[in-house]
Structure 1
Amino acid sequence: MPLLQHRAIAAAAVPLFLSMIVNQVAGLVGTAVLGRRATAALAAYAVTAAVLNPAFTAVTGALRGMAPFVAPHREHPPGAVPVLRDARWLSLIVAALAAGAVACVPLVASLGGAPPEVLAELGIFPYLLVVYVLLYGLGGGANAALIALGHSRQVIWASLSSAAVSIVLVVVLVPRIGLPGMGFAMIAAGATALAVSNLRLRRLLGGGVGRGRPRPAEIMKLARVGIPLSGTMLIKFAVLGVVTYAALRTGTREAAAHAVLHAMMGPLMFVSLSVAQASVPEVARARGRREVRGVMGAAFALAVTGVAAGGALLVAFRGPLVGQFTTDPGVVTTVVALVWLVAVMAAVDGAQAVLGFGLAGLKRSSWSLGSVAAGYGMLASAAVPVAATWGLAGLWWALIANSALLIVLQGGGFLRHSARTEATAVPA
């Protein structure tokens, strides 16, 4: 049984990891093309992304909350249709709120003191992203449903097709019309991903999901799992912004080194996040305390092993890799000296992420929200003093300590709630 659990989670995690890499590449191409056109356009994109990323994350978290409700229907996918309908109502509600926040980008940028040339560069771009967010909510989490139903390999096709559309349109439109071209490319890529993923879900279900009448009680059940997931990610985004500010106070080169270190940690985190996301349906389908904990043990081992392997490669080839980000000798020296902390941080943070998703599989994501609020709350209050006293290295040690605390808090919650799991049969 343990070997089967490892294989099942790994088989589902690999396509998710590849999808994350593909999306990352498409994003980097867009940023590079935009930056080569005009600095003000890149700054306007960064200002918009500061609001878009948390808003988009909120919708993503709400949709991930459907997984433990959909997963028990893996043997009979059409049985998940009522749950998917409820999830689409929830996603539309959350997406509408997120789109409203994105629409306020010009106001937020103005109040935040953005330079006039950046405000002028925004133009219609924020409103194009309103369409993009609403389009994502309209999809109703087809990718999350495919993962929950054991067909995560189908997700890679949506990512590949949307990335191809994004790259082609960015290269064609951005040099000609600037930032609006990026907006049109994002809408087209989002529509492509929505069409591909929903087509594959439709084939799996043997028909469309439809809308149906909203069921408030059932929608609330989904919200109790999905909304706390959104909250955990929003808190993390906000506090990491405070950490970046603390790094900036230590000096320009240290802030640049922090940005490079954070960028280098991204692909390592993809490993643990893909494993964590793949483990949610397996936790939801597990029967009894022993099997639930066995699934989580397998996910934990896969995530830590994968991150450790990637971290070893990062440390071994740190010199050439750092050279791809900067040529400043001071920044290079700092990054090379601290890159091993990135590997440690990725392993510890990946482990706590697996536990957080495990709680979501048990439909207890509110415990994860409380743990994240406590841990990141302390980190937010300590970041500036720690950076002022111990510099950038101390700041990364504080990040590691925070993730270790989350392992303890979320691990305790998982042990508590998994102990209450009854050995019931999975519905046919």
Structure 2
Amino acid sequence: MIVLLRAAVPLFLAMVMGMIGSLVVTSVLGKHDTVTLAAFAVMTAVLTPATAAVQGALRGLGPFVAPHREDPGVAVPIVRDARWLSLATGALGAVAVLCVPLLAGVSGVPGEVVRELGLLPFFLAAYLLIFASTGGASTILVALGRSRDVLWSNLAFGLVLAALTVALVPRLGLTGVGIAWVVAIAVAAVVSSLCLRRAFGRPIGQARPRIGEIVNLAKVSIPLAGTVLIKFGVLGVVTFAASTTSTRDTAAHAVLTTLTGFIMTASIAIGQASVPEVARATDVAGARRANRSAALLAVLGTLVGAALLLGLGDRLLMLFSDDVAVRERVLALLPLMLLASAFDAAQAVQGIGLTALKRSASSLMYFAIGYGLLVVAAVPVARTWGITGLWVAMAVANALLVVLQGTGFRRHSARVVALAA
């Protein structure tokens, strides 16, 4: 458990730094112009799931690299193959980002908001391609037991993004945001490259694509990206369902969703830190012990976050809304949101454990079942029981996933000895 904590803390801090940079962007744009902020919100509606899908695909590399921690040089060909796969997924994400103005116009977004996008889609497409070109550097460093190195690239990204946003947005608007994102990810990519070179003891270079090996990587990585897309898509439907209730409840749901993102950071960091431990296990007991420790730490992290939220209460919520009625609604639903988050933390670790066993396709199937039921129920539940019913439905869906993912991990981990052989 101590080993997991040592690996997870730098990952948690790295994620927080990324969040701080994004919060600075939102804050500066909000003070700059309302139309600019609205245009950025339209952009992030596609950028966020596209980035998460690319990132999800890259996280599937961990179980392939982790077994070579003592001899990193053996993993160099795997890293080269990973770059080809990551560039392919990054290119798809970049195309999706470039289509945002067209999609926004067709879906009825006001013309002034679409025009405000300007060159931003091109800058953010470049951002995705640069991010993909790192070939999953963060995942590789974690798999090699170098979680601390991940912190430096994210720290560089967050600081550069925040500083350039403050400097450029007043003069250039969204173009300034685009420049800030591209420069920040370029700096982070250089830092990641230097960390990888130090980890491997030599330049990685590049070679011709090995189609068979890339396909093997894709069998784990692509289902993981699909899981991320399912979750974002279904949560988008849930948000739409919440918007059919009342303005107050819609605002309360938005605040609760934001708080959930912060609560889940610790569990995701712990889950990622557990991948090498599960992937390197040589027996069933070792794999299950690592997964069980990660699940326990993830739930404990959620409880610590819950205690902070409940303790700060209305003082914290004043940062999100000036409406007393909205804050009261959030406070009333906070225990329910925390219950849903605790289940989500537990199921996330089980799903990441399946990825460590190279069984992410099973996790994708479980997600399709659990969140498929949620997407069918979202609108009817919202119309009948409002957002209270929606958060109950999310808690139930996450609890179902705990059972499905946990059972799946137990079944597949029984084969860990054969996988190791």
If the TM-score is normalised by the length of the shorter chain, which range does it land in?
over 0.9
The alignment's C-alpha RMSD in Å is 1.1
Matching of residue 229 in structure 1 with residue 235 in structure 2 = no
In the alignment, is residue 143 of structure 1 matched against residue 143 of structure 2?
no
Could you give the per-residue CA deviations for residues 131-176 of structure 1, whole angstroms, max 9, x where no partner exists? 1111111111111110110000111111111111111110110110
Aligned match of 1:272 = 267
What TM-score do you get using the length of structure 2 for normalisation?
0.98
Q: Which residue of 2 aligns with 1:169?
A: 164
Q: Which residue of 2 aligns with 1:30?
A: 25
**Residue 66 (structure 2) pairs with residue 57 (structure 1):** no
Structure 1 residue ranges, 4+ long, deviating more than 4 angstroms after superposition: 423-426
Residues 424 and 238 (structure 1 numbering): CA distance in 2 closer, same or farther, change over 3 Å?
closer
The match for 1:407 is: 402
| Matched residue type, 1:387 | A
Aligned pair 1:130/2:120, yes or no?
no
The aligned runs of 1:231-380 (5 Å cut-off) are 231-380=226-375
Three-state SS of the structure 2 residue aligned to 1:422 is helix
Counterpart in 2 of 1:220? 215
Deviation at 1:424, TM superposition (A): 7.7
Q: Indicate if the aligned counterparts of 1:288 and 1:424 stay in contact, CA closer than 8 A.
A: no
Check conservation: 2:350, 2:405, Cα contact below 8 A: yes
Distance 2:223 2:98 in 1: 24
SS in structure 2 opposite 1:249?
coil
Match of residue 184 from structure 1: 179
Q: Do the aligned partners of 1:142 and 1:197 also contact (CA within 8 Å) in 2?
A: yes
Q: Tell me the secondary structure at the aligned position of residue 207 of structure 1.
A: coil
Question: 2:73·2:200 contact (CA, 8 Å) conserved in 1?
Answer: yes
Q: Give 3-state SS (helix, strand or coil) of 2:415's partner.
A: coil
Q: Percent identity?
A: 53
Structure-2 separation of matches of 1:425 and 1:65? 17
User: What is aligned with 2:77?
Assistant: 82
Unmatched 5+ residue regions in structure 1?
A: 1-5
Look up the SS of the partner of 1:324 in the other structure.
coil
The answer to whether the Cα contact below 8 Å between 1:318 and 1:339 also exists between their aligned partners in 2 is no
Partner secondary structure for residue 386 of structure 1: helix
Deviation at 1:13, TM superposition (A): 0.5
1:342 Cα deviation (Å)? 2.0
Quick check: 1:383 aligned with 2:378? yes
TM-score (norm 1): 0.97
Name the counterpart of 1:48: 43
- CA positional deviation for 1:423: 7.0
User: Distance in 1 between the 2:371 and 2:418 partners?
Assistant: 35
Quote the Cα distance in structure 1 between the aligned partners of 2:402 and 2:198.
Answer: 39
Task: Answer yes or no: is the 8 Å Cα contact 2:281–2:416 preserved in 1.
Answer: no
Q: For 1:216 and 1:58, how far apart are their aligned partners in 2?
A: 21
Deviation at 1:425, TM superposition (A): 6.7
Q: Distance in 1 between matches of 2:340 and 2:312?
A: 18
1:3 corresponds in structure 2 to: none
Contact residue 256 and residue 331 of structure 1 kept, 8 A: yes
2:415 aligned residue (408, 417, 420): 420
AA aligned to 2:211 is: P
The one-letter code of the counterpart of 1:346 is: S
Matched residues in 2 for 1:192 and 1:262: separation? Answer: 31
Change (3 A) 1:302 1:129: same
2:5 is matched with which residue: 5, 10, 29?
10
Figure out how many residues of one structure are paired with residues of the other and give that number: 421
Distance 1:185 1:309 in 2: 34
Paired with 1:78 and 1:239, the residues of 2 have a C-alpha distance of 41
Which residue is equivalent to 1:72? 67
Gaps of 5+ in 2: none
AA aligned to 1:35 is: G
1:91 to 69, 83, 86: 86
CA distance in 1, matches of 2:60, 2:304: 30
Residue pairs, 1:81-120, within 5 angstroms:
81-120=76-115
Match of 1:209 in 2: 204
Deviations 1:92-113 (A, max 9, x none): 1111111111111111111111
